[in-house]
Structure 1
Amino acid sequence: MEHAILKHDLAIIVPVLGDEEALAELLLQIDQWPSKPAETIVVSGKPNPLVAEICRDRGCRFIDMHANRGARLDHGARQARSSVLWFMHADVCPPRDGLTAIESAIASGAEGGCFRFEFQGSRTWFKRLLEWSVALRILLGGVPYGDQSIFMRRDVYLECGGFPHQPLFEEVRLVKRLRRRGHFRSLACAVRVSTRRWERDGWWSRTWRNRWLALCNMLGVSAERLAGAYHGRDADDADHDRE
């Protein structure tokens, strides 16, 4: 059975831990889209008057919640009133036609999905190689992470149990449950991901580190233990990429 949604009946949910400049740029992009979401909800992991002010200026809902990222995403989702949820990192460049792409996917029977992974900045061979490896992993049944801007119907989100309240790999269980339902869609349009952590840590070092963490997670190492290793150099990594 196909499920149509009302135009713009969608909530964007953005977890942040700092990242004032990136959030301001993201919200400016959204304001410039030809169509707008019904709600934009920003959930901060620490008190941040500047983020609160940015949200007020852009007409967004600001929630201050001292909790791990999974708990913040879940709280934002349950606070939303819209029938579709779009989870987005603060430092991505989402496609201008993302709302239309999501609405079309939902209207054609998808219960949820993700966008194609693409790096920001100049095009280089190693960026293309890493993008290709992500696409291949998803094609072979791998889990898309949060930097691919996952979306889903709100009722399906609740039926699947929502995000577990954990600091890392919080999307894995949810996406696996969603995929088992058989209506998960990988969209052709790309969300462009910030390169700053790869540039800081080194492209290959960052990539292998992320793959090692994913393997440990698959082998059952706790998210809390992995978060200590993942966030060791930069606490704000709590809301960013693991490709």
Structure 2
Amino acid sequence: MNNISLSIVIPLAKGERQWLRLCDDFSLLPDGSEIIIVACNGEQLGEQLASLKRRFCRLSWQLIYSTQGRGIQLNKGAALARQPFIWFLHADSQITADNINALLACLANKNSQNSLFYFDLYFFDKSSWRLKINEAGARFRSNLLGLPFGDQGFFVSKETFNSLGGYREDTPYGEDHLLVWQAKQQGVKLRRCASQLATSARKYELYGWRSLTLKYQYLWPKQAIPQLVKLIKIKFF
């Protein structure tokens, strides 16, 4: 398993700094893994990248710039990936040795080529018990409905990702959600990676738990319904 190397694509919003904390965890990655940072045009991150290259010289690093937009940035990073598997990470994720070992075990499986993998979600900095409800909701949505979201660390072979057509770039939200539907519609399997990937609850702190939770519970079904209709037509008509 240890001979599997990854391309890790991390899109950054303007002014994003959480990615520097995430990069501290990259000492856990297999040798030869590639990190692709996709920053917004106008950002100046050359010094930070040079420091990371010195600290983690056994890894490969790319810093590229792009028009802002998560789908655009993810696709641009994926297009430059040189390894056979791509791991898409949000900048406010935190990874552990357990994550890496579970990921490598998944990729060593004979079914890894035609699969889109995801982790279980938990918030490492939650300050309210209410966020445990969101964690449970994510498990229900992912494992029972087969609808994980991008903060659960999608990883997929580059070949399969390209066959899906990449992330949608014409949507104001939910490009990760739509990629899952693209997978369902093309017969790519959604597979759980049995490890918890930590992400930040900072958006809930900033916008309020109730308002953000209600917003998400409105937006994702609104986006899912037409995709479900399309899937039914593909399968039965």
Give 5+ residue unaligned stretches, structure 2. Answer: 54-60, 227-237
In structure 2, how many angstroms separate the alpha carbons of the residues matched to 1:163 and 1:62?
A: 20
Q: Does 1:113 align with 2:117?
A: yes
In structure 1, how many angstroms separate the alpha carbons of the residues matched to 2:48 and 2:127?
A: 31
Q: Map 1:90-169 to 2 at 5 A.
A: 90-108=91-109, 109-110=111-112, 111-121=115-125, 125-166=129-170, 167-169=172-174
* Letter of the 1:57 counterpart: S
Shift of 1:63: 0.5
Q: Does 1:58 align with 2:62?
A: no
Shift of 1:196: 1.1
Do the aligned partners of residues 179 and 107 (structure 1) sit closer, same or farther apart at CA in structure 2, a change above 3 Å counting?
farther
Secondary structure in structure 1 of the residue aligned to 2:74: helix
C-alpha contact (below 8 Å) 2:121/2:198 kept by paired residues: yes
In structure 1, how many angstroms separate the alpha carbons of the residues matched to 2:14 and 2:49?
A: 13
Instruction: State TM-score, norm by structure 1.
Output: 0.79
1:111-142 deviation digits (Å, cap 9, x = unpaired): 22101010112575322222111101112224
Give 5+ residue unaligned stretches, structure 1. Answer: 221-243
Shift of 1:170: 1.0
* Letter of the 2:174 counterpart: F
Shift of 1:211: 1.4
Which of the numbers 43, 50, 65 marks the counterpart of 1:48?
A: 43
2:24 aligns with 28
Which of the numbers 158, 175, 181 marks the counterpart of 1:170?
A: 175
Secondary structure in structure 2 of the residue aligned to 1:97: helix
Give structure 1 regions of 4+ aligned residues with deviation exceeding 3 angstroms: 34-37, 122-125
C-alpha contact (below 8 Å) 1:30/1:36 kept by paired residues: no
How many residue pairs get matched? 214
In structure 2, how many angstroms separate the alpha carbons of the residues matched to 1:71 and 1:168?
A: 12
* Letter of the 2:11 counterpart: P
In structure 2, how many angstroms separate the alpha carbons of the residues matched to 1:95 and 1:112?
A: 20
C-alpha contact (below 8 Å) 1:119/1:194 kept by paired residues: yes
C-alpha contact (below 8 Å) 1:17/1:44 kept by paired residues: yes
